[in-house]
Amino acid sequence: MGEASDLRGVMRRFATGITVVTARPAAGPPLGVTVNSLTSVSLEPPLVLICIANYLRMHAAIHNAGHYAVNLLDAGQEPLSRRFAGQPAGRDPFAGLKVAPGPATGAPLLPAGLGHLECRLVASYPGGDHTIFLGEVLAAATSAEQPALVYYLSRYHELRT
């Protein structure tokens, strides 16, 4: 069995897109977290999966709300990615942002970006220190075509077409 550092060393060589997953719990403020684990699972029905660390407040928020949004970030949104990553307790990453409630779920949709998906939670599976959330896509929208924000070799990069 390999060490965690071995896995990390290999996975940092796999380029991923960057998203911010958001949810609006029934009680309390909206939550969001930077996530790079997004996979299209099925077109019929439309399903995607995300992976969320078990210790994050977002983990419980998705279970409790039963829905979430995935906001795909463009290359100009690195500051937004950093804002929602590694948040200190008590800091509101939504402060000063103009977000809109998603029409299908009410989950916060971030401004601009490459697009967003609004999902209804259909299943969750244990995945070590994370949970794999399978969501049915209820609504999807794209924004103006922009270069994508990607993460590779532990750094942000811009992917142009």
Whole-angstrom distance, CA of residue 144 vs CA of residue 99: 17
Residues found in the chain: 161
Q: What is the model's pLDDT at position 12?
A: 85
Give me the half-sphere count of Cα atoms (radius 13 Å) on the Cβ side of residue 89.
Answer: 3
Task: Report residue 157 as tokens.
Answer: 């990069």
Cross-strand pairs, 22: 32, 69
Q: What is the model's pLDDT at position 1?
A: 53
Q: Please give the DSSP secondary-structure letter assigned to residue 77.
A: G
Element (H or E) spanning 58, and its range? helix 57-65
Contact in structure between 24 and 109 (CB atoms under 8 Å): no
Q: What is the model's pLDDT at position 28?
A: 84
Q: How far is CA 53 from the centre of its chain?
A: 12
Whole-angstrom distance, CA of residue 144 vs CA of residue 90: 34
- Report the 10 Å Cβ neighbour count for 63: 15
Q: Please give the DSSP secondary-structure letter assigned to residue 65.
A: H
Mean pLDDT for each consecutive 10-residue tract of the chain (161 residues)?
81 90 91 95 98 94 96 96 83 92 96 96 97 98 92 89 74
Q: What is the model's pLDDT at position 26?
A: 85
Q: In the CATH hierarchy, which top-level class contains the domain 4-159?
A: mainly beta
What are the residue ranges spanned by the domains of the chain? 4-159
